[in-house]
Chains A and B, each alone.
Chain A
Amino acid sequence: MVGRGVRERVVQAWVELRSEDPEALSAAAVAGRRLEAARGLTGLRRLRLFEMRGPLPARRSVEALLHRSIQFYNPHKERCWVRAVGRDPIPARPGEVAILVGDSGDERRPSAERWWQHQTGERIEVREGIAWLASFAPDGEPKTRAAELALVRDRHHGLLCNPHAQWHRIATGAVPLPWFETTEGSER
């Protein structure tokens, strides 16, 4: 049981491989070679973003629980940043645009929720999506470019989000907390 300091809130966990992410490398390589929208793409990182809502303990306890669970990340191979309040930074570098991609209707992670309840006795909601951090050459509007890179329209346009089963949101400045439930920047 966690007990002390538990209160209703939303916390994000941003998880990234310690090594270079092969999925991000492949996505960047294919986009750079095949998609006009990727002209000017100078970097692409891929993180898993968990958003937890419910009676949650203080940040340190959340970090400890995430660290010891195989439901969220592998600390030997991945890093995790916990964001407990809106002013907490995300692990983005200057100029990176954040693109969140979720599977429509399939964002919840029941096995992680069961693990959390087993460990703490508290029922929380856990959602997971992919947060891409894209950087572009300065000649152009990054949000427009990010949208073109994200939204799949045909073979030659878009890569990260098939709108027939996924949704995406783009943040160029502060990332909302919560981000899954907000409609800010939502697109299909």
Chain B
Amino acid sequence: MSARVAVLQFPGVNCESESVRALERVGLTPEVFRWTRPATELRDFDAYVLPGGFSYQDRVRAGALAAKDPLLDALSEESERGKPVLGICNGAQVLVEAGLVPDRDRIELALARNRMSGRSGYYARWVYARVETSDCVFTRTLAPGTVLPMPVAHGEGRFTSGTAGRMERLLADGQAPLRYVSAAGETAESFPDNPNGAAFAIAGVCNRRGNVLAMMPHPERAQDLGGLARSIGGPWAERRDAALATGDLAAAGPGLELFVGLARHLAER
């Protein structure tokens, strides 16, 4: 049997089905794991995905209440054993609020309200994320500089830290494996290429070991080539247009690459 992946669902999480499908497509065995199950049962899995949505209706702060759940204590322990954990959007907010990134347990970051010129609140758009040099297990199979178009959809997605120099250190230490870029692949300096005002255009943060990744773009929503926005250009657009011409709308899209990275990592154990 292939590696088992728990897809954690807190009340309000709504991207579990797409995440399950992406994991199945890369040969893994996913299972939706609801918050009502005992945390000890998480030990039986090889990897974990925290999908997007609005856990506990974003009460207090996005991710803040789910972060206090005993499941996060169990996840922290399993991540210490080297098991991979991927948090997408609200899942990323939970990991940040629980302190699983960038270092175990201490809260060193926040995913703050979006800062966008001329607007405020929730924002959804296709963006480009560039793979940076990193030991992150989800991006390790991708060459640095690879650009992945993916959608974002959030109101609180701005990676920031109140500790001076902390964000710079994440970059220097290879703990920022994904950064927002323009269509040409240049680091996004401003809105809308940087869709939330994230410090240094950071779109994803991993722990030092590289097995826990919190990312704001949605790779599971970019798993089908046919689903790529018509606004997307570059090499992925050429593949999309070819897929549309042949009717193969479900051909592997850019977001699937991160799940491929997970599957390869689990196969190499």
A residues with a Cβ closer than 8 A to B are 22-23, 26-27, 30, 34-35, 103-104, 106, 110-111, 152-156, 159-160, 162-166, 188
Contact = CB atoms under 8 A, between A and B. Distances in A.
Interface of B: 56-57, 59-61, 64-65, 67-69, 72-73, 76, 97-99, 105-113, 115, 120, 158, 160-163
B115 A162 contact: no
Contact of A165 (B69, B99, B160): B160
**8 tightest A-B contacts by CB?**
A165-B110, A165-B112, A164-B110, A164-B162, A34-B68, A23-B59, A162-B110, A26-B59
A162 B64 contact: yes
Given A23-B59, A26-B59, A188-B162, A164 B107 contact: yes
B162 A155 contact: no
Most chain B beta-carbon contacts within 10 A, residue among A22, A154, A188: A154
Given A26-B59, A110-B120, A152 B107 contact: yes
Contacts of B161: 164
Contacts of B111: 165
A152 B59 contact: no
Most chain A beta-carbon contacts within 10 A, residue among B108, B158, B162: B162
Question: Chain A contact residues: over half helix, strand or loop, or mixed?
Answer: loop
Given A106-B113, A160-B60, A165-B162, 20 more contacts: A26-B59, A26-B65, A27-B59, A27-B60, A34-B69, A103-B112, A103-B113, A106-B112, A154-B99, A154-B106, A155-B105, A156-B68, A162-B61, A164-B110, A164-B160, A165-B112, A165-B113, A166-B61, A166-B110, A188-B162
A155 B65 contact: no
A160 B61 CA distance: 8
Contacts of B158: 165
Contacts of B61: 162, 166
A50 to B, nearest CB: 16
A162 B110 CA distance: 7
A30 B68 CA distance: 7
Contact of B162 (A34, A35, A160, A163): A163
B58 to A, nearest CB: 9
13 contacts: A26-B60, A34-B68, A103-B112, A154-B105, A155-B68, A155-B98, A155-B107, A162-B61, A164-B107, A164-B108, A165-B110, A166-B61, A166-B110
Contact of B65 (A27, A110, A163, A164): A27
Contacts of A166: 61, 110
Contacts of A35: 68
Contacts of A104: 112, 162
Given A27-B59, A164-B163, A153 B106 contact: yes
Contacts of B72: 155
A27 B105 CA distance: 20
Most chain B beta-carbon contacts within 10 A, residue among A22, A26, A152: A152
Contacts of A165: 110-113, 158, 160, 162
A138 B56 CA distance: 31
A146 to B, nearest CB: 15
A104 B161 CA distance: 11
Given A26-B65, A155-B98, A155-B99, A164 B109 contact: yes
A156 B163 CA distance: 20
A132 to B, nearest CB: 9
Contacts of A26: 56, 59-60, 65
